[in-house]
A = this chain, B = another copy of it.
Amino acid sequence: MNDGIIRELDSLFYPKNIAVIGASPKATGFLWGGNSFLEGAIKLNFKGKLYPVHPTAESILGLTAYKSILDIPDEVDLVIFSVPHSVVLKVMEECVEKKVKFVHLFTAGFSETGLEENISLEKQLISMAKKGGVRVIGPNCMGLYCPEGGLSWSKSMPGKIGTTGFLSQSGQLAGHFVDTGEHHGLSFSKVVSFGNSSDLKCHDFLKYLALDEKTKSIGAYLEGLKDGKAFFQTARELTRKKPLVAWKGGQTEGGSRATTSHTASIAGSQAVWQSMCKQAGIIQVHSLDEMVFTLTAFQKLPLTGGTNVAILGGAGGGSVTMTDLAEKEGLKVPRLSENSINELRTFVPLQGSSVANPLDMMVTLFDIKNFIRTMELLRDDPNIDALIFSQPVHWSHQVGGRAFLDAFIKMTTDGMKVLEKPMLVALEHTLTLDGEVVRREAFEKYHQVGIAAFPSFPMAAKVLSNLDQYKKYLDAEHAR
Chain A positions near chain B (C-beta within 8 angstroms): 30-31, 107-109, 113, 115, 118, 140, 168-173, 176, 179-180, 183, 221, 223, 247, 249-255, 257-259, 261-263, 287-288, 315-321, 323-324, 326-328, 332-335, 350-352, 354, 356-358, 360, 363, 399, 429, 431, 433, 436-437, 440, 455
Contacts and interface: CB of A to CB of B under 8 A. Distances in A.
9 closest A-B pairs by CB:
A170-B317, A254-B333, A252-B327, A173-B317, A109-B351, A255-B324, A249-B320, A261-B354, A30-B399
A317 to B, nearest CB: 2
A175 to B, nearest CB: 10
A308 B218 CA distance: 36
- Quickly give the copy total for this chain: 2
A268 to B, nearest CB: 14
A321 B169 CA distance: 12
A115 B351 CA distance: 12
Contacts of A169: 317
Contacts of A259: 320
Contacts of A118: 350
A113 B341 CA distance: 13
Nearest to A458: B287
25 contacts: A118-B350, A170-B316, A170-B317, A170-B320, A171-B317, A173-B316, A173-B318, A247-B321, A249-B320, A251-B328, A252-B327, A254-B327, A255-B321, A257-B333, A257-B356, A258-B319, A258-B323, A258-B333, A258-B354, A262-B320, A287-B321, A429-B455, A433-B436, A433-B440, A436-B436
A34 B109 CA distance: 69
A321 B173 contact: yes
A172 B318 contact: yes
B255 A327 contact: yes
Q: Which of A176, A255, A363, A436 has the most CB of B within 10 A?
A: A255
Given A179-B431, A351-B108, A324 B252 contact: yes
A319 B170 CA distance: 10
Contacts of A429: 429, 455
Contacts of A352: 108-109, 140
Contacts of A115: 350
Given A176-B318, A262-B320, 10 more contacts: A109-B351, A140-B352, A170-B316, A173-B316, A221-B317, A223-B320, A252-B333, A254-B326, A262-B319, A429-B455
A410 to B, nearest CB: 20
Nearest to A247: B321
A315 B255 contact: no
B431 A180 contact: yes
Given A252-B328, A254-B332, A433-B440, A168 B262 contact: no
Contacts of A324: 249-252, 254-255
A253 B323 CA distance: 9
A357 B261 CA distance: 9
Given A170-B320, A173-B318, A261 B356 contact: yes
A351 B324 CA distance: 46
Contacts of A30: 399
Q: Which of A223, A354, A429 has the most CB of B within 10 A?
A: A354
B108 A317 contact: no
Q: Which of A30, A183, A323, A431 has the most CB of B within 10 A?
A: A323
A288 B258 CA distance: 32
A80 to B, nearest CB: 16
Contacts of A332: 253-254
A172 B315 contact: yes
A255 B323 CA distance: 5
A251 B325 CA distance: 9
Contacts of A221: 317
